[in-house]
Amino acid sequence: MPRAPRRCPGDNYECDEMIAGGQKHCQRHTIPWRGERTASSRITSSWEWQQLEPEILNRDGHQCQIQYPGICIGHATTVDKIEPAARRPDLALEPHNLRAACAPCNEHKARTTDRTQNRRSQPRRR
């Protein structure tokens, strides 16, 4: 069911523009992404990834393969790259580097394990 139009929350809810649907802000208060796309986002938006993702989820029975205690919900809805695309783009579409994961486990891994591994593999700046 569609949402009713509402006022944009921009300018501390002083904006008079009406927005509808899934919009968060009016066009004046929407800031476009100006940064470079990440290695992972370039992979996951590709046609190859769109074809591969359901295959990996089915292969693993839609069961989370990461299973962090206290975080895991069990039902996998996303695919995790064991070796992150930022570090190993050559493995990003290889089935042996992919596993089914629930969203909480995949997000936790991205915030913790993947970041610390990427820091260790980069040369120190002086």
| Domain assignments of the chain as residue spans, ordered by start | 1-32, 39-121
Q: What is the mean pLDDT of residues 78-99?
A: 95
DSSP strands (E only) in 8-117:
18-19, 78-81, 98-101
Instruction: Band the pLDDT of 123: cuts 50, 70, 90.
Output: very low
**Tens of pLDDT, residues 43-79:** 998 999 999 999 999 999 999 999 999 999 999 999 9
pTM: 0.65
For the four alpha carbons of 45, 49, 55 and 57, in that order, the dihedral sign comes to negative
Residue 10: predicted pLDDT: 87
Question: Above 50 in pLDDT, residue 120?
Answer: no
Residue 1: predicted pLDDT: 60
DSSP strands (E only) in the chain:
6-7, 18-19, 78-81, 98-101
